[in-house]
Amino acid sequence: MDLILVGFMGSGKSTVGKLLAQKLDKEYFDLDELVVQRAGMSIQEIFEQSGEAGFRKIEQQCLRDTEHLSGILSTGGGTPIPENNQQILNKMGAPVVLLAASIETTLARITDSDGRPLVEQLGPSGLNKLFKQRQIAYSQVSDFQIHTDRLSPVEVTEQIMEQFQVVK
């Protein structure tokens, strides 16, 4: 991979990832989409049939499959949490960018979002807890972070390109 985006649900990974890929003329990979393709069912259905553990297994297989591809990869919000995944991400050698947002912005963005089983399962207080729990892993795995609360996806994309001095 050329660049990897990580961050909590609703941080804008997919939107920014697509924009970056377009601007840089690279291929775009969305780990959630790869999981859905591999499983032949939606994320919601995977959680229903095999639980979160089943989902994480497929997610890790798909992450490994991207190891030797080049392009921009948007991960899922939970991808950087398992230690094995952190090792896979490090091994890829691509810059890892954390898209960070406040809990308030995050909750506003993901409440009522379809297709995110954890949002339904956990509710606002559970999501708040998960958000806090994940911060250490997010910063450990990332090389650079951008606070997105007051930025549009285009501005976030431009900042990433500036940071890595890739101008197109």
> What are the residues binding ligand S3P (CB under 6 A)?
9, 13, 32, 43, 76-78, 116-118
What's the rounded Cα separation, in Å, for the pair 14 and 97? Answer: 13
24 vs 73 by CB, closer to ligand S3P: 73
Give least dist CB 77 to ligand S3P, A: 3
121 vs 162 by CB, closer to ligand S3P: 121
> Which amino acid would we find at residue 57?
K
Give least dist CB 78 to ligand S3P, A: 3
42 vs 159 by CB, closer to ligand S3P: 42
Give least dist CB 38 to ligand S3P, A: 13
Q: Which residues are annotated as a binding site?
A: 10-15, 32, 56, 77, 116, 134
Give least dist CB 108 to ligand S3P, A: 15
What's the rounded Cα separation, in Å, for the pair 59 and 45? Answer: 14
Give the orientation angle of helix 43-65 with respect to helix 83-92, to 10 degrees.
40
Computed on alpha carbons and rounded to an integer, the radius of gyration of the chain in Å comes to 15
What's the rounded Cα separation, in Å, for the pair 4 and 74? Answer: 6
15 by Cβ neighbours in 10 Å (0-12 / 13-18 / 19+) ranks as middle
13 vs 72 by CB, closer to ligand S3P: 13
